[in-house]
Structure 1
Amino acid sequence: MKRLINIKFLLLGLAISLFSCTDKLDEDLELTTGGSVDYTSAEGAKGTLVGAYAKFQDIGWEQIPLIAVRGDDVNSGGLGDQQPFADTDKFVYDSNYWMYNSVWENWYQTIVQVTAQMEELEKFRAAGVDSKLIDQYQAECKTLRAFYLLQISKVWGKVILMETLDQTQLKLQSKDEIMQWISSQMDSAIPNLPDMRPNQRTDLKGGVTKYTALAIKAMANLELKNYQGVADATGAIINSNKFTLYSDFYQLFKIPGKLADENLLEIQYSDFGTGSGTNISHLWAFYGPTDWTPAVTGANGGWGFYEPSLKYIKFMLARGEKTRLETSVLFTDRGITEIKKDPNFATLPSWVSSTTKDGDKIKDYARAMFVSGKHYLPSKQLTPGRLDYGTNKNYIVTRYAEILLMYAEAVTRGASPTAGTAVAAVNLVRQRAGLSALSSVTADQVMDEKYAELGMEWGIRYYDMVRLGNTAALSYDGRTFTMEKQFLPYPLAQVDKINALSK
């Protein structure tokens, strides 16, 4: 039996009412009113696509942190009720931990639903809706599906490839096979996607474009160490001349940076500019301090479960970083004292303070000494009447700075340049950070630049170090990392249900 659930949400700048089947993801999607689908309607086809973006917007609070926590840029906050999360950060894994199962189950449910919507779109084509439009919508779904599978495979390695709703022959594919499939999927999607920045789209503002697909193709080829493939894909983005770095690194991760020309993919949220009523938001509390004195009285703090590492902070201080460090890290007084215990950092720049540049005082609390600034929204940027930590802030997934640095890494590892020199790409990123230009650049220098620029973002640092076999970088502050620890164990709840995982 089909059940209609009325979901109201903001999607890519549009307020949409969507009827969708979410309990049984392989059932036909029902759209519009009256419980039936008009397959001759282009708007109905668009509604099917909207369902795919709705799932993207619905990524849970626990899912990204699990993907991201194991690098030497970030620590889990300690002293809490999520000890297995803290253990995961230290490469001690519990296959029975609910968070492992949540990521696997929810992301695969999303893959199933997006695949169902791709098949549903074929019915609109058969009923006479413009075939080119259906090709585009399916390409957008392909791109979102590839992104999910990219992340799942980076976390677990050998995973299930699901191209259709036929689940009778589930088969595990190696990580390399998954990445090759993703690259091929993006090749098929790119010709059918809009040739513009996501923020230039007027039909679905911020939606997937060919450059989003090129970015995902580059990421897959980076995992394969196919550096020419990386240079080709990122070079095409650079050569488009459509993307620029947002001038203010600090504001990029806040309200002014929403749908910036730098962003190739972001999860969008909104409170509609009102102090009450509908509010579509990520649960940012996971990242926030448990104790603070906000500039806006009454603004809520967070849970303190995501902490920039002391190693990262010292790395940034040693480089003379201000713009990126001030953006990426919020300090407590206890954290500042801890930094100063190192004789090399006994004297800190005057701007290092437990009060942010927007006037929020981060107080000492037991769970962590530092707070991720990239997941912070100044309380004075909250819509009046909204008090939840970070609410109304978007979640950036992929941005042009990462494209430039992937390109630079590929070229410094032997790829033929397709969009200028590696040093030119690196210097664009350094210029915004207020650092001097380099005259030449090595692969190691590019990795340092990626560490500085992309810290706390999507586990990029961890997966870079794993790809390069740099176990020493990940063995810090009492941790010991070996390559046997690169993947999480399959969730026990899934092993019990999916025979392929136990073979």
Structure 2
Amino acid sequence: MKNLINYTVVLLLLVFSGCSEDLESVKYDDINPSIFPSSEADVQAIVASAYYPLRGSYGNGIHSTSENGLMFILDATTEILQGPYGVQQEASLHSYKASSTSFTRFYDVFYNKISNMTLSIDRIEKSNVNEQIKKKAIAEVRCARGLLAYELFDLYGPIVVAPLEVLKNPLDEQPLARLSNAEMVSFIENDLKAAAAELKSPAETPYGRFSNGLARMVLIRLYLHEKRWAEVEEQATAIMDMNYYGLEENYAGLWDITAPVSSKEVIWAVPADYAGTSENQWQLMVLPNNFPGRGGYGTIQSSWKFYDSFESTDIRKMALIAEFTGTDGVTYNRANPANYMQLGPIPLKIHPDAARTTALTTVDMIIYRYADVLLSRAEALVNKTGTPTQAAIDLVNIVRRRAKISEIELVNYATLAKFNEMILLERSHEYWCENGQYRSDLIRHGKFTEHAIDLNGAASQSEPYKALFPFSLAKISEGKGKFIQNQGYN
């Protein structure tokens, strides 16, 4: 609550170099709520501030590709990524606890951003600008709030969501309890449904901005989380019925140095820039210092278990670098890994961008793609009835054909258990190193702990309660008995 006393709209953005429509770099300080916002430009500045915590930034962007971002830390809790030291090793071994600030920080850094967005919506509603402008602006802020709230919910379970009347009286400090699961789901769902109703179609939406397609995609993730299969199918069908999205023929091209601004597969991406307002640091994270061209810190690897799970012709495997000849002239691989590949191959899904002049790259961070819609709908169709169908198999085969691997047949996945085992593996192969959602997929299928123990054996400290991250001790203390820690971390 203390951080809300001086509420300011800070716009460093754009960040989103491809999101120029109605968004300009402006900084507003010491805002007087009685006169701001008073123009369309003011409203657009508030909208832009809602994108700010969702960008890729080491310090305060939740989609950073460093250890301070979702993809890195979440995929590292699965077989997709492994780390030999530091926070990445904590993630891999599931050894995080309430004093592990790298895991508690996501709530500490970002939960107040939801409150800021609530105040932003109220300010826009009370402004005197055109009603249509207000409606579209509020939809964009609600989409940002719903997305961020979902991401924190996925990490920690229900969180504190401060009501507007509390936010308007910041000097009247009062501890707040976390929402119930039903309340949390309803809060996110209401934001995303309202956003979907008012946001523009993907065809009308500038690259990097929120469309109604994104709002529905995040609803799919929410409904998957809750196993509300009929609603997953409903939202996936609605996206498919837009007749806009499709798969790119060139899978690897989605992560080229040329941004996929016109791609019909990208539902939402975070544009990156060399200025560092929205950073992509992935090459810095994964490339060894002796990698040809331009190296990095080599902080994290994939696992050989994950690498071996792909079919040999799968093009999605090609970006898992299983061998390279270093600048020292030595060839490194599984047989001669040194300290570069002892856990697994190098997970370089994006273009190496060897010509980059800084530690950063301008390869954009794709967060959601249309392939997710297809596989989510397939999973929903089967789990809704408990019986695999040809329609679900057909959806999976659309994705597999693009991956250059054999199509599957219903006869081989005729039971629910067999189908779910297949769909879970397919999801890991399709989305590795994108938004970290495979952790949630494992949890949904009851495989999170099992996979962690299988990967790390006796070294694993995984337990079922580790499916949720802990809250910091400071937040529990501030809650004065109302804010309850997640089970297992007391």
3-state SS of the aligned residue for 1:246?
coil
- Aligned: 1:70 with 2:69: no
Report what 1:190 is aligned to.
196
Report what 2:483 is aligned to.
501
Could you list the per-position Cα deviations for residues 48-97 of structure 1 after superposition, in whole angstroms to 9, with x for gaps in the alignment? 1111123322414313223332112221x214xx2x44123211123222
Distance 1:148 1:244, change over 3 A: same
Report what 1:320 is aligned to.
312
Distance 1:68 1:151, change over 3 A: farther
- Aligned: 1:173 with 2:179: yes
- Equivalent position amino acid for 2:164 in 1: T
Distance 1:381 1:136, change over 3 A: farther
Report what 2:271 is aligned to.
268
In structure 2, what is the Cα distance between the partners aligned to 1:2 and 1:400?
A: 37
C-alpha displacement at 1:131, in angstroms? 1.5
C-alpha displacement at 1:217, in angstroms? 0.7
In structure 2, what is the Cα distance between the partners aligned to 1:2 and 1:404?
A: 41
Report what 1:293 is aligned to.
291
In structure 2, what is the Cα distance between the partners aligned to 1:181 and 1:278?
A: 33
373, 388, 411: which one pairs with 2:348? 373
C-alpha displacement at 1:281, in angstroms? 2.4
C-alpha displacement at 1:229, in angstroms? 0.8
- Equivalent position amino acid for 1:475 in 2: I
In structure 1, what is the Cα distance between the partners aligned to 2:342 and 2:386?
A: 47
463, 471, 481: which one pairs with 1:490? 471
In structure 1, what is the Cα distance between the partners aligned to 2:189 and 2:162?
A: 15
Which runs of structure 2 are paired with 1:79-478 in the superposition (5 Å)? 79=85, 82=86, 84-124=87-127, 127=128, 129-162=129-162, 164=164, 166-167=166-167, 168=174, 170-197=176-203, 200-202=204-206, 205-259=207-261, 260-271=263-274, 280-284=278-282, 287-295=285-293, 299=294, 301-316=295-310, 319-329=311-321, 331=323, 333-337=331-335, 365=340, 369-374=344-349, 376-380=350-354, 382=356, 386-389=357-360, 391-414=361-384, 421-440=391-410, 442-470=419-447, 471-476=449-454, 477-478=456-457
C-alpha displacement at 1:377, in angstroms? 2.9
The answer to whether the 8 Å contact 2:199/2:212 transfers is: yes
In structure 1, what is the Cα distance between the partners aligned to 2:386 and 2:52?
A: 39
The answer to whether the 8 Å contact 2:272/2:280 transfers is: yes
- Equivalent position amino acid for 1:426 in 2: V
C-alpha displacement at 1:231, in angstroms? 0.6
C-alpha displacement at 1:372, in angstroms? 1.7
C-alpha displacement at 1:137, in angstroms? 1.3
3-state SS of the aligned residue for 2:217?
helix
- Equivalent position amino acid for 1:466 in 2: I
C-alpha displacement at 1:278, in angstroms? 7.6
- Aligned: 1:10 with 2:52: no
Could you list the per-position Cα deviations for residues 105-132 of structure 1 after superposition, in whole angstroms to 9, with x for gaps in the alignment? 22213222222222221232xx1x2212
Mind listing any 5+ residue stretches in structure 2 that lack a counterpart?
1-5, 168-173, 325-330, 414-418, 486-490
Distance 1:74 1:321, change over 3 A: farther
- Choose between structure 1 and 2: higher strand proportion: 1
C-alpha displacement at 1:191, in angstroms? 1.1
In structure 1, what is the Cα distance between the partners aligned to 2:46 and 2:426?
A: 40
3-state SS of the aligned residue for 1:450?
helix
- Equivalent position amino acid for 1:20 in 2: Y
3-state SS of the aligned residue for 1:264?
strand
In structure 2, what is the Cα distance between the partners aligned to 1:5 and 1:121?
A: 16
Could you list the per-position Cα deviations for residues 181-209 of structure 1 after superposition, in whole angstroms to 9, with x for gaps in the alignment? 32232222211111224xx424xx33111
In structure 2, what is the Cα distance between the partners aligned to 1:365 and 1:101?
A: 29
The answer to whether the 8 Å contact 1:218/1:230 transfers is: yes
C-alpha displacement at 1:429, in angstroms? 0.7
Could you list the per-position Cα deviations for residues 324-382 of structure 1 after superposition, in whole angstroms to 9, with x for gaps in the alignment? 0012455455442279xxxxxxxxxxxxxxxxxxxxxxx963885432222x4323464
Could you list the per-position Cα deviations for residues 401-447 of structure 1 after superposition, in whole angstroms to 9, with x for gaps in the alignment? 11111111111212599xx9212221111111011223335333222
In structure 1, what is the Cα distance between the partners aligned to 2:258 and 2:118?
A: 34
Distance 1:169 1:185, change over 3 A: farther
Is 490-499 or 9-18 further displaced after alignment? 9-18
Aligned residues: 442
- Equivalent position amino acid for 1:71 in 2: T
Tell me the percent identity: 17
TM-score, L = length of structure 2: 0.81
3-state SS of the aligned residue for 1:437?
coil
- Equivalent position amino acid for 2:468 in 1: F
3-state SS of the aligned residue for 1:265?
strand
The answer to whether the 8 Å contact 2:285/2:299 transfers is: yes
Distance 1:489 1:89, change over 3 A: same
In structure 2, what is the Cα distance between the partners aligned to 1:466 and 1:169?
A: 31
The answer to whether the 8 Å contact 1:73/1:309 transfers is: yes
Instruction: Let me know the Cα RMSD of the aligned residues.
Output: 3.1
Distance 1:142 1:279, change over 3 A: closer
The answer to whether the 8 Å contact 1:211/1:237 transfers is: yes
Is 206-215 or 2-11 further displaced after alignment? 2-11
Distance 1:105 1:338, change over 3 A: same
Distance 1:438 1:234, change over 3 A: same
C-alpha displacement at 1:225, in angstroms? 0.6
3-state SS of the aligned residue for 1:145?
helix
Mind listing any 5+ residue stretches in structure 1 that lack a counterpart?
31-35, 272-276, 340-362
In structure 2, what is the Cα distance between the partners aligned to 1:183 and 1:338?
A: 50
The answer to whether the 8 Å contact 1:73/1:308 transfers is: yes
